[in-house]
Amino acid sequence: MLLALILFAVGIVGNLALMCIVWHNYYLKSAWNSILASLAFWDFLVLFFCLPVVIFNELTSKRLLGDLSCRIVPYMEVTSLGVATFSLCALSIDRFHTATTPGSLQTPRVEPCQSILAKLSVIWIGSMVLAAPELLLWQLTQEVVSTSIITQDGSPPLTPISYQATQPGSSPVASLGAQTGGLLVDMCVRQPSIDLPETVYSLVLTYHEARMWWYFGCYFCLPLLFTLACNLVTRHVIAQETLQKASSLKVAGGRTSSSSSSTSSSSSSPKKKQQARREQRLSSTVMALAVIYAVCNLPENAWNIALAYISIPVSTSTEALLALIGQFLLFVRSSSTPVLLLCLCRSLGQAFMDCCCCCCEECLPDGASSSSSSASTTATAASASPSALSSPVSLSPPSLSPSSCKEEKLEIVSGTTPAIFYDKAKDTSSVVAIGTPC
């Protein structure tokens, strides 16, 4: 219960913060951040709906919402795995496209909204369609557990004396439990219902037989291998481009004078360092997401394959414990992913800290909050970029008044590529635009 409360609190706050940051900040609505917000949305749904149902079932041996939760909870969990799988693939492709696009730093590129929506639609629709058989695969059963023998810890043993699939509230199992003095337990069994049409039943039965390898191949091997392959290819392409640029600079340096070559090398070195830092941050973010995904999904796939091909006698209580551990590993991934993104992505973490600082300033007196906000605004504008200090926009106190803020906009654009949104005011043509990568 304590572990569930910690995961619920951290996951709900982290995923809500990530979604709100991307939704309420226009300069953060890039393809990269939109995919991360989509992943946070499904993690939020899993924690908000599935975690309470699982805990309620463990504490009371009753299934909340009955047969509906037996079908919805596995469907949402598998859909969340699909969203994470396709999100990792989309982030890897986006990083490869950004790293291999010529002149990505010099030429600002803004991805249209239709392209972002198309990517999110493919991720969501593909994940929901692939997880649709889970709605027909699970059904609720009731099991009578003997309470005559008490275990050492005082809890009834999970050794069923009767097993009968029935609808919730039916009398045979309930009467049997009353006669034998047993405990009636609700359980979700992965077994297709015989009431389905013959064609649908055959398809669901085929999915049930191949579910283990489909689960392992599509939701474990595919995202990890694809992410690793894209990362290796991206590094190879970047290394080749670096060698070509170095050779071209040597040829150009031989033809020009020493002063001009030193000036060009000094002007290009900051851009190279900025590009190297940005690529390192993007690579670390994708690889960290892949590592968390692998660590949280490897145990469940490992014991599923081991129990299927190794003749090990496993009791019902052991199977229930392994299923519970697999679900909690999924909840751990859903809770730790937003925390990792807020720590690795500089723009998202800075926006989260600014939001927390604004909430703290609202609790202060009016004079203190106004002075602190003006000081923070001056410091941010002064340390934004060297080009901003040399722009025609003055950073004097009168320029920080509300009237001047209406005329001039400071937009920070974040994403996989530095993009600049030109939103000029009516009375002035000076625009300060900063591109901050993830």
Query: pLDDT tens, 238-263?
Result: 888 778 777 776 766 655 545 554 44
**Alpha helix stretches (DSSP H) within 25-66:** 31-45, 51-60
Question: pLDDT > 90: what percent of the chain?
Answer: 28
User: Do residues 395 and 389 touch, judged by C-beta distance below 8 A?
Assistant: yes
Across the chain, mean pLDDT equals 73
- Label residue 101 by pLDDT band (50, 70, 90): confident
Bridge pairing between strands 432-437 and 160-164: unpaired
Phi and psi dihedrals of 199, rounded to 5? -65, -45
Q: Considering only 71-80, 284-293, 394-403, 423-432, which range has the smallest mean pLDDT?
A: 423-432
End-to-end Cα spacing for the chain:
36
| CA pair distance 202, 390, nearest whole angstrom | 71
- Output the pLDDT for position 363: 57
Bridge pairing between strands 138-145 and 160-164: antiparallel
Distance of CA 389 to the CA centre of its chain: 37
User: Do residues 14 and 342 touch, judged by C-beta distance below 8 A?
Assistant: yes
DSSP secondary structure string for all residues of 76-88: HHHHHHHHHHHHH
Name beta bridge partners: 160. 145
pLDDT per residue as tens digits for the range 10-50: 999 999 999 999 888 877 878 888 999 999 999 999 999 99
- Stretch 362-369: mean pLDDT: 53
Q: What is the pTM of this model?
A: 0.72
pLDDT per residue as tens digits for the range 207-237: 988 899 999 999 999 999 999 999 888 888 8
DSSP state of 219: I
Question: 135: how many CB neighbours lie within 10 A of its CB?
Answer: 13
